[in-house]
């Protein structure tokens, strides 16, 4: 298998529920995410973006078809192996931030590394948390942080561990434009300098314009793709998809 492919889906289908209430969230997705590339996934609400991210990151089982991280077919992994693979190779920024309420911001950020028994790169930790404006909030628990601060902690947690692949589900969804630009520029640098692979879901054309490639989903299918996107070309494509 081509080692330049960080993750891929083959004929991926995902259904929720059964019988009359079945929701066909993904209807045959074929996609490759190249290593050291930044991909944005866009599309209307309910088009299957989060479902695709969850299936790619092994957080949800597929109904049919396959998903791979590198050469590893996720269907072949038991829960323990899946947990290990996620821990060692993936970072995930959730739509809900998934912070541990009893831990401080700093402890939440280093949790993946602590669990893996890896050392925290203090210089990198300081840089990420300061660029995200978290330095003064590190000893606070999530309940003492604003929504945007919680989201930045979730971003820092994914970034500080420097995973091979970062999946982000609307990682800048609750952020003001300054914080959003910081998160996106750190993600961009992760790809350009640290050879990481980034895949994010976003509704924001400006955020998507940081990517090398934008994939558009509608009703569970990939309907369009842009390379070297600009805010302009993204807006044009979005209005075309709404007219479908
Ligand atoms: N756990 C679930 N059970 C049943 N249906 C679900 C479940 N999760 C998602 N769905 C349905 O699957 C479809 C795709 O949902 P998904 O969350 O992937 O959309 P999305 O593109 O991420 O939307 P948004 O932009 O609003 O986050 C929707 O119709 C949704 O209602
Ligand atoms: Mg979603």
The ranges assigned to domains in the chain are 5-17+24-242
Measured from the Cβ of residue 211, the count of other Cβ atoms closer than 10 Å reads 27
Between CA 24 and CA 88 the distance in angstroms is: 31
Residues with CB under 5 A from ligand 2 (ion): 50
Ligand 1 pocket, 110 CB below 6 A?
no
C-alpha distances out from residue 24 to 13, 52, 101, 216, 225, Å: 8, 12, 34, 17, 22
Segments of 21-176 assigned E as strands = 23-34, 38-42, 64-69, 72-73, 90-93, 165-169
CATH of domain 5-17+24-242: 3.40.50.300
Helix (H) / strand (E) element for 9: namely strand 5-16
Tens of pLDDT, residue by residue, the chain (244 residues) = 456 999 999 999 999 998 899 999 999 999 999 999 999 999 999 999 999 999 999 999 999 999 999 999 999 999 999 999 998 899 999 878 889 999 999 999 999 999 889 999 999 999 999 999 999 999 999 999 998 899 999 999 999 999 999 999 999 998 889 889 989 999 999 999 888 999 999 999 999 999 999 999 999 999 999 999 999 999 999 998 876 5
Answer yes or no: is the C-beta of 21 below 6 A from any ligand 1 atom: no
- Which residues on adjacent β-strands are paired with residue 23? 16
> Which tokens hold the place of 19?
């019988």
pLDDT on residue 240: 86
Ligand whose nearest atom lies closest to the CA of 14: 1
Q: Answer whether 61 contacts ligand 1 (Cβ < 6 A).
A: no
Query: What whole-number distance in Å separates Cα of residue 27 and Cα of residue 124?
Result: 40
Model pTM score:
0.93
């Amino acid at each position: 298998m081509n080692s330049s492919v960080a993750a891929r889906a083959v004929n991926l289908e995902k259904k929720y529920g059964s019988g009359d209430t079945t929701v066909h969230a993904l209807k045959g997705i074929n996609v490759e995410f190249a290593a050291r590339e930044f991909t944005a996934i866009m599309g209307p609400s309910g088009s299957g973006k989060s479902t695709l991210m969850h299936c790619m990151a092994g957080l949800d089982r597929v109904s049919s078809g396959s998903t791979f991280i590198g050469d590893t077919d996720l269907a072949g992994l038991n829960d323990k192996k899946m947990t290990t693979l996620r821990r060692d190779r993936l970072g995930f920024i959730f739509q809900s931030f998934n912070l541990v309420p009893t831990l401080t911001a700093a402890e939440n950020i280093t949790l993946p590394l602590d669990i893996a028994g890896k050392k925290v790169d203090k210089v990198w930790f300081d840089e990420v948390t300061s660029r995200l404006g978290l330095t003064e909030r590190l000893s606070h628990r999530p309940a003492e942080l604003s929504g945007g601060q919680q989201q930045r902690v979730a971003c820092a947690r994914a970034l500080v561990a420097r995973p091979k692949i970062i999946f982000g589900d609307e990682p800048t969804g609750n952020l003001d434009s300054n914080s959003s630009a910081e998160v996106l520029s750190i993600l961009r640098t992760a790809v350009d300098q640290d050879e990481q692979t980034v895949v994010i879901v976003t509704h924001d054309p400006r955020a998507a314009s940081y990517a090398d490639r934008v994939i558009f989903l509608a009703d569970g299918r990939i309907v369009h793709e842009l390379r070297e996107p600009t805010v302009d070309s993204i807006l044009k494509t979005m209005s075309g998809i709404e007219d479908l």
